[in-house]
Structure 1
Amino acid sequence: MSADTWLEELGVSGLGGRRLGEVEEPAFSRLAERHRRELHVHCYRMLGSFEDAEDTVQETFLRAWRRRETFEGRSTFRAWLYRIATNACLDLLARCRPEPATGGEALWLQPYPDRLLDELPASNTDQPETFAFARETIELAYLVAVQHLAPRPRAVMILRDVLGWPAKDVAELLGDSVNSVNSALQRARAGMREHLPAERQDWTGGEQDARTRELVRRYTDASVATDVPALASMLRDDVRCSMPPTPGLHVGRETVVNDWVESGFAGMKGLRAVLTSVNHQPAVAFYLWQEPEGAYLPLTIDVLRVTGGAITEIVTFHDDQFPLLGLPERLPLDGTE
C-alpha cells in the first residue's frame, strides 16, 4: 500500500510536508506503527542488540514526528522512516560504539525471538531467493559478521543487499555520491567474506528439516544428561562457541569440549530443557534445579547453527534473555509449567 493510500485512510489527502504536518499525533502514530517491526529488525541488523534496536525505533518515531514537516512525498512514508532509522543507528554507533566488533564475536549481541519475527510483513514468495536471503540475514552468524564492519559501509550493505535500495537512494540518505556508495558496498562485501564462509550453505542453518530437528533433540537429551562424549560427536571439527556478553570465542571441537570440562559442565546435575526458536535458528533453553526455590530456574539458552547434519556454532545467552524470548520464569518439579 502506498503512502498516499495510508494518508487518505487517515483523512489527509495528498502528500508533501504541509499536508503531513496537518496530521494529528494519534493518526501519525498509527501510520508509523504499521512499520514498527520491520524498522526494529532493520535497526537490529545494524546494531546487533535487541534493546538498542528498541530504543532506536522509539528515537526514529520521535524524530519523524518532530520533522514531519520535512516529508516532501518524493519517496514513500516507509522509505522516509527507514532513512530516519538508519541515521539514528549511525548516531548511536558513533556515540556508543565508535569501533566495530573484532575477533569474531560481538559482545553486545542479543537474540531475536521468532515469535516477533513472525510479525514482519509477508515477503514476496514469488522470489524465493530474496525470501531465503531475508531469513538468513537475521541469523546470528550473519549478524556477528555485520558487526565487524564500520558503521557507514554496514549501513550501505544492509540497505543495498538486504533491502534492495538503489545506490542513488542510499547516496542521498548518507549524503554521499553514488561512486562512494558503490565503493563502500565493495568494502563491506569484502569484510563479510573475511568473517563468513564463502558458501552460503556453510554459514546459514537453512530450514529446520526433520534431520535438523532430530539432531537438536539428541543435543538436548545429551545436554540434560551432561553427556560430553555424545555432545562432542555432534560437533563439526571447526565448531565455534561464544557466550555474549562474556568475552571468549572457542573454535574447534577439542577446544570447545575442553572448555565444557574445565567449566564444570560435565558434572552438572539437575538440568531441564525447553525447545524454542531464535533468529530463525533452533535453540534450547536450560533450567537448573534450585532446592531453596523448589523449582528449575533459568540458566542459559543455546542457539544452534546446524550445517550438513552437524552443529557448526553454539551461541549461548545468559538467563537475563529468558523474558525477551517469552520463556517460563521457572519450571516446577512435576514437569508442568
Structure 2
Amino acid sequence: MMTDTRREELVVGDLGTVDEPTFAGLADRHRRELHVHCYRMLGSFEDAEDAVQETLLRAWRKRATFEGRSTFRAWLYRIATNTCLDLLATRRPQPASGGEVPWLQPYPDRLLDELPADEADEPESVAVARETIELAYLAAVQHLAPRPRAVLILRDVVGWPAKDVAELLGDSVNSVNSALQRARAGLREHLPTERQDWTDGDEGAEARELVRRFTDATVATDLDRITSMLRHDVRSAMPPTPGVRLGRDAVLADWVADGFTSLEGLRGVPTAVNRQPAVAFYLWSEQENAFTALTLDVLRIVGGAITDVTIFGADRFPSLGLPERLVEERA
C-alpha cells in the first residue's frame, strides 16, 4: 500500500504542472508544523498565521522552481523561514533589556496535538520538542537577532544539517556553525537558571494538584495560600505590559497594586498552552449576567513550586478556543 509520503513525492516530482486544489491539499498537510515553526521564529500566534499565509502564497507562485533536490516539506520550511526573516526585518524590534517580550502570545495545546509524531520518538527528542515550545524558551529566542535565531531553530529544533542551513541563508557552513554557537550562548543568557540543561518541568498528579490549589486560592483571592506555592525566585510577566517581575515579594506586590485582592466573583477553568498548565479566569459581570473572560495564567512548575506565571489578557481567549463567557449561577 502506498504511503502518504510516497504519494506526495510522486505528485511533487513535477510541481509546476499541478493545479491549485492539488497544491493546496499537499501544502495543507504541513500547515500546522509550518505555523509552529513560524511561531518559534516570531513569538506571536497571530504573526505566525500571517507568515504561514504568505508562505503558502509564495510557494504557489514559485511552484515551478521546485526541482526536487529536497523534500516538499523542506522546501516549504525554506520559504517559511525566509518569510519570517522578511517580517522580522520590517515589523519587529528587539525586546527591551528588561527581558519582556510584549508581542509574546500563547499557543493552545489542542493545536500542538495536530503536529505529526516525532520521527525518532525518543524520550530526549520528545522532551526537547516540548521544551522548545514553552514560553520561557520562546521569550529567550526573541532576544536573538533574526539570522542567528533562524540558525538555532533550524539546527537545534528542526534538526537540519549545517550545510542545508548555510544554503538557505546564503552563508558558509563555518559561518552557520559560528552563528549557532553565538545563538546558544545568547539563549542561555535569557533562560531561567534551571532551564540551562534542558531540565523538564514537573508533570503528573502532584503538579495537577498544585494547579488545582493555585486555582482555588486565586478564586478566593487568598494571598497567603498563593504565597506558599510560589518559589522565592518566581518570575511573572504580563505581555504586552512592559516589565518582568522577579521574586515572590515583587510579584505579589505587583498583583496587589493591580487590584487582585479586590476581585470578587472569580471562576477558574483549567487548560493547557505551550505544553504548560494554565488556568483561564473569569470575573462575574452583573451587566452581562455571566462570568466574562479576565486573564489566562500560564504556569511553570519545578520541584513542587510555581517558578513562572505568565499572564495574558482576555483578548487571547478566542485563539485558544476558550469561551469568552461562562453562563452559570453565581454562588
Q: Distance in 2 between matches of 1:267 and 1:99?
A: 36
Aligned to 1:209: 204
Q: 1:218 aligns with which of 181, 190, 213?
A: 213
Aligned to 2:135: 140
Cα deviation digits, residues 165-219 of structure 1 (max 9, x gap)? 0000000000000011001000100001101145438876535211100110110
SS in 2 for 1:324: helix
For residues 183-332 of structure 1, the aligned pairs below 5 Å read 183-200=178-195, 206=201, 208-332=203-327
Q: 1:23 to 1:101 in 2, by over 3 A?
A: farther
For residues 58-77 of structure 1, the aligned pairs below 5 Å read 58-77=53-72
Q: Distance in 2 between matches of 1:92 and 1:125?
A: 32
Matched AA of 2:21: P
Q: Comparing 95-104 with 35-44, which one deviates more in the overlay?
A: 95-104
Aligned to 1:5: 7
Q: 1:207 to 1:250 in 2, by over 3 A?
A: closer
2:133 paired with 1:131: no
Report deviation, 1:102.
3.5
Q: 1:255 to 1:299 in 2, by over 3 A?
A: same
Contact persistence 2:99–2:243 (CA under 8 A) = no
2:105 paired with 1:110: yes
Contact persistence 1:101–1:149 (CA under 8 A) = no
Matched AA of 1:272: R
Q: Distance in 2 between matches of 1:2 and 1:193?
A: 39
The TM-score normalised by the length of structure 1 is: 0.93
Q: Comparing 195-204 with 87-96, which one deviates more in the overlay?
A: 195-204
Contact persistence 1:43–1:85 (CA under 8 A) = yes
Q: Distance in 2 between matches of 1:164 and 1:101?
A: 30
Q: Distance in 2 between matches of 1:138 and 1:100?
A: 18
Percent of aligned pairs sharing the same letter: 71
Cα deviation digits, residues 28-66 of structure 1 (max 9, x gap)? 010000000000000000000000000100000000000
Q: Distance in 2 between matches of 1:333 and 1:117?
A: 30
What 5-or-longer segments of structure 2 have no aligned partner?
A: none
SS in 1 for 2:105: coil
Q: Distance in 1 between matches of 2:62 and 2:209?
A: 52
Contact persistence 1:288–1:299 (CA under 8 A) = yes
Contact persistence 2:136–2:192 (CA under 8 A) = no
Contact persistence 2:290–2:328 (CA under 8 A) = yes
Q: 1:306 to 1:60 in 2, by over 3 A?
A: same
Q: 1:98 to 1:73 in 2, by over 3 A?
A: same
Matched AA of 1:322: F
Cα deviation digits, residues 140-189 of structure 1 (max 9, x gap)? 00000000000000000000000110000000000000011001000100
Matched AA of 2:236: C
How many equivalent residue pairs? 329
SS in 1 for 2:321: coil
Report deviation, 1:260.
1.7
What 5-or-longer segments of structure 1 have no aligned partner?
A: none
The TM-score normalised by the length of structure 2 is: 0.95
Matched AA of 2:195: R
2:92 paired with 1:90: no
